[in-house]
Amino acid sequence: MNSIKTRQDSIVESFKKFSNWEDKYRHLISKGKNLSPLGDSYKTEDLKVKGCTSQVWLRAYLSDSHQLILEADSDAMIVKGLISLLVEVYSDSDLDDILKEELFFINEVGLQTHLSPSRANGLQAMIKQIKLYAYAYKMKLSTV
């Protein structure tokens, strides 16, 4: 299993292949297109990420080995690309790792400076939701 840091390094490397932002956006959109679709039964209000202008649904559950598994979808192409990157980084990870690891790929790729303020806020809302899922599952496991 790759660490969160290793996965972020891989994303940074994949974006380094592109010299301009038009190509980087195309790459981001293609990442979103490769995201496994979330079943319509999970596109519910309670799985919607609050704070996103676009609709984003994020489902989380624990594997048998207590790794957080994430599934997501969005109705906007760039946002779907963003959530696909977060799923790539965080899914199938240890809860403690999700809570303690810092995300560096966003700045290293340059997303923070090339996203509109509303998309940047939405990205932060998605990260916050993933960390809340990890925390909630950690608390649930500690009471078992």
For residue 21, give every residue at least 6 positions away whose Cβ sits within 8 Å of its Cβ, in sequence order, or none. 110, 114
Please state, in angstroms and rounded to a whole number, the distance separating the CA atoms of residues 11 and 3: 13
In whole angstroms, give the CA distance from residue 107 to residue 111.
6
The CA distance from 72 to 86, in Å, is 9
52 in active site = yes
Cβ-in-10-Å burial (0-12, 13-18, 19+) of 126 comes to buried
Question: Of these residues, 52, 56, 89, 106, which one is catalytic?
Answer: 52
Active-site annotation, residues: 52
